[in-house]
């Protein structure tokens, strides 16, 4: 018996690394030292920084992977993996530096795995960060053949005296909601239950435009790094940011608010995407659960003074990201978000 008979194909692994090399190296920033294939990736801090702080984040894609693998869609979940990490670290005002990925599979499928890494590289290029390294673990008997799991890790950098931590937020500040690209990468355990109940498949369509349902659900998470960079370069008075992930607006927006302040959100200030209405109708999901599970069309929030709102929305629109003033910051005795289903 040899390793391949036991379920691990080392030759296929080498071929996989050879295929992804060009995609990975295309993400390298000038600060990267060395190339792909070492035991550790190396990178210098950007030149000229006075007191750099490193900001790190790690995340996965959740059970969206199950749906993607069922439908042979692998590239977009690579983008999802980057977005779930990058969209978290940029809320501090930090610029992404590098990204690492971990993939575990029951049996290596070089084509599928390559599509995932090419998606990760795509997300890194859009975020301005280097795909500095990764690990692909072939684990027969632990994962089913043909199935894989993903985890990502991102490091960003920001000047210590330029960190955005929400402490500048005041009552009266406005909340600009930036559009999501659908469900993003949260709530898919519920999504998959609804699909099962509705007996939905690749032919199912939804909404007034009769868009393909599975395609809409597998749309990649929007990357907001370029937007944040543009807002900072424009020197808008950005007081806080929130990435709207699992738990939706009611659980994520308060994370950027200092003690003693809450938020009031007007749910009529933007149109609920038809995708969430389809999920609610077909799963008979209570309104409160819908808001506490999904982003409901808002993927990222910027908190700014009222006079900066128009400029912030204009910047969003210049990057083809619809945005709205969806609420304001209020003094409150308890944390929370007013205006949402209780």
pLDDT of residue 1: 66
Question: Which residues neighbour 212 within 8 Å (Cβ) at sequence distance 6 or greater?
Answer: 202, 204, 205
pLDDT of residue 336: 75
Q: Which two tokens stand for residue 325?
A: 């003033």
* Residue carrying structure tokens 């099962």: 196
For residues 150 and 74, is the Cβ–Cβ distance under 8 A?
no
* Residue carrying structure tokens 């692998």: 74
HSE-up of 319 (CA within 13 Å, CB side)? 20
Q: Which domains does the chain have, with CATH numbers?
A: 10-162 (3.30.1330.10), 174-338 (3.90.650.10)
Identify the CA nearest to 177 among candidates 123, 241, 261: 241
CB under 8 A, 24+ apart: contacts of 21-26: 23/117, 23/118, 23/121, 23/131, 24/117, 24/121, 24/131, 26/121, 26/125
For residues 7 and 140, is the Cβ–Cβ distance under 8 A?
yes
| Bridge pairing between strands 95-105 and 130-138 | parallel
For residue 110, report the phi and psi dihedrals to the nearest 5 degrees.
-55, -40
Question: Which residues neighbour 209 within 8 Å (Cβ) at sequence distance 6 or greater?
Answer: 274
Give me the residues paired with residue 154 across strands: 57, 99
Alpha helices by DSSP H, listed for the chain, are 10-25, 64-70, 75-89, 110-127, 188-198, 213-217, 225-233, 248-252, 274-283, 287-293, 309-318
Edge-to-edge strand order for the sheet containing 148-159?
52-59, 148-159, 95-105, 130-138
Question: Which residues neighbour 39 within 8 Å (Cβ) at sequence distance 6 or greater?
Answer: none
For residues 93 and 158, is the Cβ–Cβ distance under 8 A?
yes
Q: Which two tokens stand for residue 342?
A: 């209780």
pLDDT digit string, tens, across residues 94-143: 999 999 999 999 988 888 999 999 999 999 999 999 999 999 899 998 99
pLDDT tens for the chain, residues 1 to 342: 666 766 666 666 676 777 777 788 888 888 889 877 778 888 999 999 999 999 999 999 999 999 999 999 999 999 999 999 999 999 999 999 999 999 999 988 888 999 999 999 999 999 999 999 999 899 998 999 889 999 999 999 999 999 999 999 999 999 999 999 999 999 999 999 999 999 999 999 999 999 999 999 999 999 999 999 999 999 999 999 999 999 999 999 999 999 889 999 999 999 999 999 999 999 999 999 999 999 999 999 999 999 999 999 999 999 999 999 999 999 986 567 899 987
pLDDT of residue 230: 97
Q: What is the number of helices (H) and of strands (E) in the chain? A: 11, 14
For residue 44, report the phi and psi dihedrals to the nearest 5 degrees.
-80, 155
For residue 205, report the phi and psi dihedrals to the nearest 5 degrees.
-125, 160
| Bridge pairing between strands 205-206 and 211-212 | antiparallel
For residues 128 and 90, is the Cβ–Cβ distance under 8 A?
no
């Amino acid at each position: 018996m040899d390793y391949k008979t036991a379920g691990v194909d080392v030759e296929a692994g080498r071929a996989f690394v050879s295929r992804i090399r060009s995609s990975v190296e295309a993400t390298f920033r000038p600060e990267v030292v060395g190339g792909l294939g070492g035991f550790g990736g190396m990178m210098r801090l950007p030149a000229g920084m006075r007191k750099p702080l490193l900001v790190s984040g790690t995340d996965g894609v959740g059970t969206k992977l199950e749906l993607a693998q069922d439908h042979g869609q692998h590239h977009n979940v690579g983008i999802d993996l980057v977005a779930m990490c990058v969209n978290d670290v940029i809320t501090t005002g930090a610029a992404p530096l590098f990204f690492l990925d971990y993939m575990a599979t029951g049996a290596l499928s070089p084509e599928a795995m390559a599509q995932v890494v090419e998606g990760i590289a795509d997300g890194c290029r859009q975020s301005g960060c280097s795909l500095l390294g990764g690990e692909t673990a072939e684990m027969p008997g632990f994962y089913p053949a043909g199935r894989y799991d993903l985890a990502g890790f991102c490091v960003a950098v920001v000047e210590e005296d330029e960190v955005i931590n929400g402490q500048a937020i005041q009552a009266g500040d406005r909340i600009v909601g930036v559009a999501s690209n659908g469900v993003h990468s949260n709530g898919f355990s519920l999504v998959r239950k609804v699909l099962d109940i509705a007996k939905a498949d690749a032919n199912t369509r939804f909404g007034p435009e009769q868009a393909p349902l599975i395609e809409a659900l597998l749309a990649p998470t929007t990357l907001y790094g370029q937007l944040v960079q543009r807002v900072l370069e424009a020197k808008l008075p950005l007081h806080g940011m929130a990435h709207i992930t699992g738990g939706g607006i009611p659980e994520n927006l308060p994370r950027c608010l200092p003690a003693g302040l809450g938020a009031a959100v007007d749910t009529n200030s933007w149109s609920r995407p038809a995708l969430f209405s389809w999920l609610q109708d077909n799963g008979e999901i209570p309104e409160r659960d819908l808001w506490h599970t999904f982003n409901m069309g808002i993927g990222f929030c910027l908190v700014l003074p009222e006079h900066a709102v128009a400029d912030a929305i204009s910047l969003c629109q210049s990057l083809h990201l619809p945005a709205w003033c969806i609420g304001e910051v209020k003094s409150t005795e308890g944390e929370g978000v007013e205006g949402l289903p209780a």
